[in-house]
Amino acid sequence: MTDEQIRLWNETFRAGHPCLLRKDNGEEFDTRIRSGAWRVGSGHVVVQVDGFSGGWDIDRVKMLETHSFSS
């Protein structure tokens, strides 16, 4: 992921956006992101999510669509 792609991702997905987090065993958890994405020293791009500590590789985070309806 390029720096530009990270910037665009952060503009699109703000803290509180719903997502699914996939753990090592394949289990998925319904949660929300709580940070923007950033690159760590290894070159991986990570993001923080509610209910779990540390940064999670962005490849393990599936962003869910949100819909707004107007009356």
% of the chain residues with pLDDT over 90: 90
Nearest to 34, CA basis, from 21, 20, 49, 22: 49
Q: Are residues 46 and 40 in contact, defined by beta-carbon separation less than 8 angstroms?
A: yes
pLDDT value of residue 65: 83
Average pLDDT value over all residues in the chain = 92
